[in-house]
Amino acid sequence: MTMNRLLNRHRPSPGYAFVKALTAIVILSVVIQGSFYLSSFSQTGRFDDSFLPPEKPEEHLKPSHVAFGLSGNNPGFFDEFEVALKSVLLNAPLDRNLSVHILADNDALTALNDLYNKTDLAKWVSRNQIQIQSYNVSSRLKDMESVIMHTWEPHFPEVKTLWQVSFHTMGTYFRLFAHWFLPATAEYVLYMDTDVTILANLGELWQMIEAKPDVLFHWGRGMCAGFLAMKVSRIDEIWALARKAPLAEIRKKGRNRGIDDQLIFIAVNETHPNEVNRLPDGYDLTHSLKWHSSNYPYHEVYPEAFMLHHNANGNSPLPYWNSSRIIQQHHDSWGLMEYYIHLPWTWARFFARSQL
């Protein structure tokens, strides 16, 4: 009963709808003891603290930041995002606050509003403070495209437009522009594709990041950009180093390697390996890299599984669990994703509250 009263007391005023319409970015926060608040950013990504509540001593915990890039409103894509978000929230660090940053275009923001209404996230109660921050990046899409083409043109003169070589939406590049939007207080950010599911507590990853605090980014041996942590203040350096790298030669080394965001990270990894930290194999369980029989049984070869990355959906409009048989074929490993796929949001909310 006490929790319900607290929630009611902090529920947004009727003027919230008007504020929401005027602001480009909305933050939905879930705070210990059931209170929550809404804040806004300007369209350029500059933080505006006029909407924030006063700080509380008990909230002075180290931060952790997780980012997603969303473009378009494909229902299957958003179904995947729901599962990934659920897994992040239920594995929030035990001794840190958590901020989830969603970089989204106009279409994705519309779908996000539907998701927020569906999940009732404002009523969540969590062990530590959780914020979900949505950024409208639409006004910067042309700027992003300019940066990308400036990187490709010297190495691939045959590429005249980005869409000649892009097999994904613009959202696949959003991770490389996170520093344009995230608050200055965000030192590191974990980027996740929507088909990644977290299996273990996120706090351990942050311990690994802080053990190598100055590298450009952290990722697995498979060099998959669908799960990597970056030092936010150095993302511009990733672009600069990639432009100087022999991108065409590096691309030829890789089998079916595209001209895409992943090539940028691979180029930096190959030319400046000391600037990259390799995560343990349990943080690199990407199906396209680990599917072969030499890795069976997975729980013995990889006894410390932190995440699972499906990444076999291709361009299908369906979520990965409806467009391939990976989960059915490997029910004792990749099949564990089904827990979050089928977990109702009401139960997820209860599980989060039970960790208090």
Residues 41, 48: Cα–Cα separation, whole Å:
5
With cut-offs at 50, 70 and 90, classify the pLDDT of residue 258.
Answer: confident
Does the structure show a pLDDT above 50 at 125? yes
With cut-offs at 50, 70 and 90, classify the pLDDT of residue 312.
Answer: low
With cut-offs at 50, 70 and 90, classify the pLDDT of residue 300.
Answer: confident
pLDDT of residue 118: 86
pLDDT of residue 19: 34
List the strands of the sheet with 276-278, edge to edge.
Answer: 47-48, 38-41, 25-30, 130-136, 96-104, 62-70, 188-192, 227-231, 217-219, 276-278
Residues 99, 120: Cα–Cα separation, whole Å:
17
Residues 97, 126: Cα–Cα separation, whole Å:
10
Residues 275, 216: Cα–Cα separation, whole Å:
6
Q: Enumerate the domain spans of the chain.
A: 2-52+61-232+275-285+339-353
Under 8 Å between Cβ of 191 and 178? yes
HSE toward the beta carbon, residue 212, CA cutoff 13 A: 16
Kindly report which listed range (66-75, 237-246, 328-337) carries the lowest average pLDDT score. Answer: 328-337
**Tens of pLDDT along 194-205?**
999 999 999 999
With cut-offs at 50, 70 and 90, classify the pLDDT of residue 18.
Answer: very low
- Residue in 168, 171, 167, 165 with CA at minimum distance from that of residue 144: 171
Does the structure show a pLDDT above 70 at 42? no
Does the structure show a pLDDT above 70 at 356? yes
Q: What is the mean pLDDT of the chain?
A: 82
Architecture of domain 2-52+61-232+275-285+339-353: Alpha-Beta Complex (3.90)
pLDDT of residue 327: 80
Residues 6+ apart with CB under 8 A from 290: 222, 284, 298, 302
pLDDT of residue 117: 86
Does the structure show a pLDDT above 60 at 121? yes
With cut-offs at 50, 70 and 90, classify the pLDDT of residue 322.
Answer: confident
Residues 6+ apart with CB under 8 A from 86: 340, 343, 345, 348
Choose from 52-66, 94-108, 296-310 the range with maximum mean pLDDT: 94-108
pLDDT of residue 290: 64
Cα distances (angstroms) measured from residue 110 to each of 81, 103, 129, 181: 14, 13, 25, 19
Rounded to a whole number of angstroms, the distance between the first and last alpha carbons of the chain is 16
With cut-offs at 50, 70 and 90, classify the pLDDT of residue 254.
Answer: confident
Does the structure show a pLDDT above 80 at 22? no
Does the structure show a pLDDT above 80 at 293? no
Which conformational region is residue 133 in: left (phi greater than 0), alpha (psi within -120 to 50 degrees), or beta?
beta
With cut-offs at 50, 70 and 90, classify the pLDDT of residue 269.
Answer: very high
pLDDT of residue 47: 35
Does the structure show a pLDDT above 60 at 29? no
pLDDT of residue 256: 53
Residues 10, 36: Cα–Cα separation, whole Å:
6
**Tens of pLDDT along 50-65?**
323 344 445 589 999 9
Q: Which tokens hold the place of 159?
A: 């590429």
pLDDT of residue 313: 58
The conformation of residue 283, written as its DSSP 8-state character, comes to: G
With cut-offs at 50, 70 and 90, classify the pLDDT of residue 14.
Answer: very low
Kindly report which listed range (36-50, 96-110, 246-260, 325-339) carries the lowest average pLDDT score. Answer: 36-50
Q: How many CB atoms lie within 10 A of CB 50?
A: 7
Q: Which residue has the tokens 């779908």?
A: 111
CA angle 6, 344, 29 (to 5 degrees): 35
Kindly report which listed range (27-41, 147-161, 243-257, 288-302) carries the lowest average pLDDT score. Answer: 27-41
Q: 74 versus 189: which is more confidently predicted?
A: 189
